[in-house]
Amino acid sequence: MRLSVTVTPAAPSGAPILLRGDLRKNIALAAELGFDGVELHLARASEVDGPDLLETCRAAGIAVSTIGTGGIFTRDGLQLITDDREVRERCAARLQELIDLGKVLRAAVIIGSARGSIPRPDRAAIYERRFLETLSRLAEYAGEKGVLLLIEAINRYETNYLNRAEDVLAMIAGAGYPNLQVHLDTFHMNIEEVSPADSIRRCGPALGHIHFADSNRRFPGAGHYSFTETIGALNDIGYNRWIALECLPLPDAVTAAREGLYQVRKMAAGAATDCQEEKN
């Protein structure tokens, strides 16, 4: 398991993104703190120069794990499921550009908050069909570029569909694209899942990415979420992809990133020792 930290050139103040502002500076800082990668949050691909960013990461010895796209909605109000066709198409076009960037950066692309919410829940089936059509188009496009698309299960207070791991699992099984995978987030799982660990085990190899934040969306260890169980479940399924720290920059960004990384490494080492003792 490799660890990345969320970075962005710009985000709303309440967003759970740690390192904000100058990307070059923050990529160097992420490497210095000991992260293996950065999760880059953008609202549009033109906010960065892809090849230049890749070079900056290579020079720092870290990777871009993932591209977060929630800013398309939270910063610019575009989303994939509104009744407004123009807004839907503009959102899909932004995602396509970020898929192109994903190819350059060799990074998977997240579809989370940019999904928006179903405007008429009494007609959910119609909207879900529409979403599946758009998603299939994006998955095909991403597949041609060799880019993985990650569909994030997000809690009911932020969106009214695909709230739980099982919803996303069923949706991607129905879509049938090998480059679509489930993306979980401990903050959302703490609200939605009966047992986060069992949900992780049910996802198995379909789990492509995970965000770590504590129950209060602060860094792991600053709340009451059971990361030990989550890490145990990730070990059970042989998870070898990224864990991204997506949490609030409290008490400040550097303290949260440093402390979060330390706590996750400590808990992962503890889980490995427990596992070894069980085998002996």
Residues of this chain that bind Mn ion (CB under 5 A): 185, 211, 246
With CB under 5 to 8 Å by kind, the binding choice for 220 among Mn ion, ligand LER, none is none
- State the catalytic residue, choosing from 47, 89, 246, 278: 246
What is the SS3 assignment for 160? coil
| Whether the Cβ atoms of residue 66 and residue 91 lie closer than 8 Å to each other | no
Interacting residue with ligand LER among 37, 102, 112, 208 (CB under 6 A): 112
What is the SS3 assignment for 243? strand
Q: Which residues contact 14 (CB under 8 A, 6 or more apart)?
A: 248
Decide: is 246 part of the binding site for ligand LER (CB under 6 A).
yes
Q: How far is CA 258 from CA 5, 33, 168, in A?
A: 10, 6, 31
- State the catalytic residue, choosing from 55, 89, 152, 278: 152
Decide: is 211 part of the binding site for ligand LER (CB under 6 A).
yes
Decide: is 152 part of the binding site for ligand LER (CB under 6 A).
yes
**Residue 141 neighbours by CB distance under 10 Å:** 16
Known active-site residue 259? no
With CB under 5 to 8 Å by kind, the binding choice for 193 among ligand LER, Mn ion, none is none
**Residue 7 neighbours by CB distance under 10 Å:** 29
Decide: is 249 part of the binding site for ligand LER (CB under 6 A).
no
Return d(Cα 133, Cα 140) in angstroms, integer.
Answer: 11
Tokens of 59: 């020079």
Q: How far is the CB of 16 from ligand LER (least distance, A)?
A: 5
Decide: is 209 part of the binding site for ligand LER (CB under 6 A).
no
Return d(Cα 115, Cα 144) in angstroms, integer.
Answer: 22
With CB under 5 to 8 Å by kind, the binding choice for 16 among ligand LER, Mn ion, none is ligand LER
Chain CA centroid to CA 38, Å:
11
Residue whose C-beta lies closest to ligand LER: 112
What is the SS3 assignment for 154? coil
Residues 35-74 within binding reach of ligand LER (CB under 6 A): 68, 70
Return d(Cα 215, Cα 32) in angstroms, integer.
Answer: 27
Residue at 182: amino acid letter: V
Tokens of 121: 């829940």
**Which of the ranges 139-147, 150-158, 162-170, 219-227 carries the binding residues for ligand LER, by CB under 6 A?**
150-158
Query: Is the Cβ of residue 16 or residue 54 nearer to Mn ion in the bound state?
Result: 16
Query: Is the Cβ of residue 216 or residue 274 nearer to ligand LER in the bound state?
Result: 216
Tokens of 265: 């490494």
Q: How far is the CB of 188 from ligand LER (least distance, A)?
A: 6
With CB under 5 to 8 Å by kind, the binding choice for 158 among ligand LER, Mn ion, none is ligand LER
Tokens of 210: 């995970």
Known active-site residue 152? yes
Q: By the criterion CB under 6 A, which residues form the site for ligand LER? A: 15-16, 68, 70, 112-113, 152, 154, 158, 185, 211, 246
Q: Which residues are catalytic?
A: 152, 246
